[in-house]
Amino acid sequence: MKNIREISKADLNDIIINEMGESKYRAQQIYDWIWKKNVSRFEDMTNLSKSLQAALALRFFFRNLSIDSMQESVDGTVKYKFKTSDQHFIEGVLIPTEHRKTACISSQIGCSLSCKFCATGKMGHIRNLHFDEIYEQVALINKEVEKKYGCKLTNLVLMGMGEPLLNYKEVLKAINYITQPDAFAMSPRRITLSTAGIAKMIKQLGDDQVRFKLALSLHAANDVKRSQLMPINEHNNLKTLATALNYFYQQTKGEITLEYTLLQNFNDTVKDAEELVKFYRTVPVDLINIIEYNTIKNGIFQPSSEDTLERFVGILSKQQVNVRVRRSRGKDIAAACGQLVV
Query: Is 104 a known active-site residue?
Result: no
53 burial type by CB count under 10 A (0-12 exposed, 13-18 middle, 19+ buried):
middle
Q: Is beta strand 66-72 parallel, antiparallel or unpaired with respect to 78-83?
A: antiparallel
Query: Is 98 a known active-site residue?
Result: no
Flag whether pLDDT at 200 surpasses 80.
Answer: yes
What is the predicted pLDDT for the residue at 212? 98
Distance CA 66, CA 292 (A): 31
User: Is there a contact between 163 and 107 (Cβ–Cβ < 8 Å)?
Assistant: yes
Query: Above pLDDT 90, what percent of the chain?
Result: 89
Global pTM?
Answer: 0.95
Nearest to 65 by CA among 46, 44, 95, 38: 38
Decide whether 2-61 matches 66-333 in CATH topology. Answer: no
User: Is there a contact between 178 and 135 (Cβ–Cβ < 8 Å)?
Assistant: yes
Q: What is the DSSP letter of 147?
A: H
Q: What is the average pLDDT value for the chain, to the nearest integer?
A: 95
Confidence of residue 47 (pLDDT cuts 50, 70, 90): very high
What is the predicted pLDDT for the residue at 338? 78
The domain ranges of the chain are: 2-61, 66-333
CATH of domain 66-333: 3.20.20.70
What is the rounded average pLDDT of the residues 206-220?
98
> What are 4-28's pLDDT values in tens digits?
999 999 999 999 999 999 999 999 9
173 burial type by CB count under 10 A (0-12 exposed, 13-18 middle, 19+ buried):
middle
CATH of domain 2-61: 1.10.150.530
Q: Which residue in the list 91, 163, 170, 259 is annotated as catalytic?
A: 91
User: Is there a contact between 146 and 119 (Cβ–Cβ < 8 Å)?
Assistant: no
Distance CA 34, CA 192 (A): 24
Q: Is beta strand 2-3 parallel, antiparallel or unpaired with respect to 60-61?
A: parallel
Q: What is the largest CA-CA distance in the chain?
A: 71
What is the predicted pLDDT for the residue at 78? 96
Q: Let me know how many helices (H) and strands (E) the chain has, helices first.
A: 10, 14
User: Is there a contact between 220 and 203 (Cβ–Cβ < 8 Å)?
Assistant: no
Nearest to 57 by CA among 68, 69, 65, 49: 49
User: H or E segment at 239?
Assistant: helix 238-252
What is the predicted pLDDT for the residue at 252? 98
Flag whether pLDDT at 188 surpasses 90.
Answer: yes
Cβ-Cβ contacts under 8 Å for 237 (sequence gap 6 or more): 223, 226, 227
